[in-house]
Structure 1
């Protein structure tokens, strides 16, 4: 299957700061790729480069066979883009706005009505066609934002934080829409919310400090999520090599000489063996506390093989 997007060695500098560092990946039809990372990781900068709104410092972006820098008009015909703030003219009705967007996308006049009606139906906007966008709820405004991105039936849809600020019901509706769109398009979904990726995507790509650290299937992500952590304090410094030999332990972080964070697989909980090893070696256990799972724990679990 031909790639809809191919990204090679993408960099973006702001002065001396490298916001995107050697990013490369591909996207195929039917793939919903979750671009996951904490705020400030480089997600939006990457989305802006993929959509042609920001020039990379170096690297190549190929969309449907066209180089985005060399043939921007041809490449952008295959793109639909929803930035983190939907680009809406709120003084227009939904119908007026989509008609305007259809003209911007050079949809033939005899095909505009069909394209708008199909898009409104897909995005659940038929009932609000003639309402002003300013008077719609944020969830419906987000739907209008998605509608303008898919109106011209692009092969690639880029969605930057599409559910931010929505209530739980609106979030569920947008996620369902994204899954439906993913059947006929290639989608890149940027988010800092882990659950967003698990609910909406087929694959996940984690970006951290501007660098891609892994691309995984959702099944692989869920397997990695079977990881928990313990904070351990001992009076004497523990021997990490003895603890790492315990079955089920994935990684150990040194906090201080006497404090460790131990990451382990919940399928084979090694807590008892950890306690027994500490006691048997006379390190004197002072604290053993479960740690709430965080994005950093996911990074460690998913990348333990590459870090070893």
Structure 2
């Protein structure tokens, strides 16, 4: 596989404060890397360094073998970047803005109309070309920010909170787009949403206090269909195992159980089956995924309801 991004011993200091320290990273074509971490962990600093907006205190960033510090223009031609707040110009229309971005990316004049049409189609903006950016909803502004990032078809994409402002349907469409883009690109995706990262990313990197605490593939940390159940009265585990949505149940304490649902079943199916069986349902809570457990263990914090 082709290596698109190689980061070696990357660090950034702000005065006496070390925002990022000793980060190593390798991203190959076809990979989607999820970048996680609590507020202040160094995620934004890391993304700004990788996109060339900040210079590192030490370390090396190579995009397709090009050193980002010493050959910034050549390296950035292979990079698409969506910051958390897209750099939009509200006084422009959508097509005007994308044309401006195409010139910044130095696209050949003849290639610009097709590049704009393709980016708009992929981001669901086909009918928005004449609209003023100031009149766009937050979700459509996010789509436009993504369109400018993919306009020049870069092999490396950096997306900072790309689902910000999107509704659930738009988020699902964006997940499909990211997987589609990953066929030919490498993608780094920063998000606060752990389920979102698990659903779309091949690897996950967790930053805490400016250092990499975890970097591994996510295939072993896919969401499970495990639920914690607390029932009233005298309930035996066999009562739960007899319910249609249940693939298996394990007693974890007095009237407390861990229930594994069948692949097609939902928590609503389980609750309905419990009530129809004449049992008292006091608690129905999803078990943390492996990624959630890893995240909270690493940062030394507990999830708050």
**TM-score, scaled to structure 1:** 0.74
Question: Is 2:267 the partner of 1:297?
Answer: no
Instruction: Confirm or deny that 1:95 pairs with 2:91.
Output: no
Give the Cα–Cα distance (whole angstroms) in 1 for the partners of residues 20 and 203 of structure 2: 20
Q: Quick check: 1:29 aligned with 2:52?
A: no
Alpha-carbon distance in 1 for matches of 2:46, 2:226: 29
Aligned counterpart, 2:157: 157
Cα offset, 1:181, TM superposition: 1.3
* Aligned-pair CA distance for 1:300: 6.0
CA separation of 1:85/1:179 partners in 2, compared to 1, >3 Å: closer, same or farther? same
CA distance in 2, matches of 1:68, 1:206: 23
Q: Secondary structure at the match of 1:81?
A: strand
Match of 2:215 in 1: 215
Q: What SS class does the counterpart of residue 126 from structure 1 fall into? A: coil
| Match in the other structure for 2:237 | none
1:253-272 alignment to 2 at 5 Å?
Answer: 271=252
What RMSD, in angstroms, separates the aligned Cα atoms of the two structures?
2.8
Asked if structure 1 preserves the Cα contact closer than 8 Å seen for 2:203 and 2:218, the reply is: yes
SS of match in other structure, 1:13: strand
Match of 1:215, SS state, is: strand
Contact in 2 for aligned 1:227/1:301 (Cα 8 Å): no
Measure how far apart 1:298 and its partner are.
Answer: 2.2
Query: 3-state SS of the aligned residue for 2:222?
Result: helix
Structure-2 residue corresponding to 1:39: 39
The answer to whether the Cα contact below 8 Å between 1:39 and 1:192 also exists between their aligned partners in 2 is no
Displacement of 1:82: 0.6
Assess, with a 3 A threshold, how the Cα gap between structure 1 residues 41 and 193 changes in structure 2: closer, same or farther: same
Could you tell me which runs of 5 or more consecutive residues in structure 2 were left unpaired when the two chains were aligned: 229-247, 254-284, 300-305
| Structure 1 residue runs without a partner (length 5+) | 230-266, 273-289, 304-308
2:244 equivalent in structure 1: none
Which residue matches 1:11? 11
Are residues 110 and 220 of structure 1, via their aligned partners in 2, closer, same or farther at CA, if it must alter by over 3 Å?
A: same
SS in 1 for 2:159: strand
Q: Which sits farther off after the overlay, 49-58 or 199-208?
A: 199-208
Cα–Cα, structure 1 residues 157 and 120, in superposed 2: closer, same or farther, change >3 Å?
same
**Residues 1-308 of structure 1: matches in 2 within 5 Å?**
1-222=1-222, 271=252, 293=288, 297-299=293-295
Q: For residues 181 and 291 of structure 1, what CA distance do their matches in structure 2 show?
A: 32
Structure 1 226/58 Cα, relative in aligned 2: closer, same or farther at 3 Å? farther
Give the whole-Å Cα distance in 1 for the aligned partners of 2:219 and 2:249: 19
Tell me if structure 1 keeps the 8 A contact 2:142–2:164: no
**Greater mean deviation of Cα atoms: 95-104 or 294-303:** 294-303
In structure 1, the residue matched to 2:270 is none
TM-score (norm 2): 0.75
Which deviations, in whole Å up to 9, do the C-alpha atoms of 1:11-42 show, x marking residues without a partner?
11112221112111111111111111112111
Matched residues in 2 for 1:227 and 1:71: separation?
50
TM-superposed CA distance for 1:169, in Å, is 2.4
SS in structure 2 at match of 1:10: strand
The secondary structure found in structure 2 opposite 1:127 is: coil
Task: Report how far residue 200 of structure 1 moved.
Answer: 1.8
Deviations along 1:124-151, one digit per CA (max 9) or x if unpaired, are: 1111111111112211111110110111
Equivalent pairs, count? 250
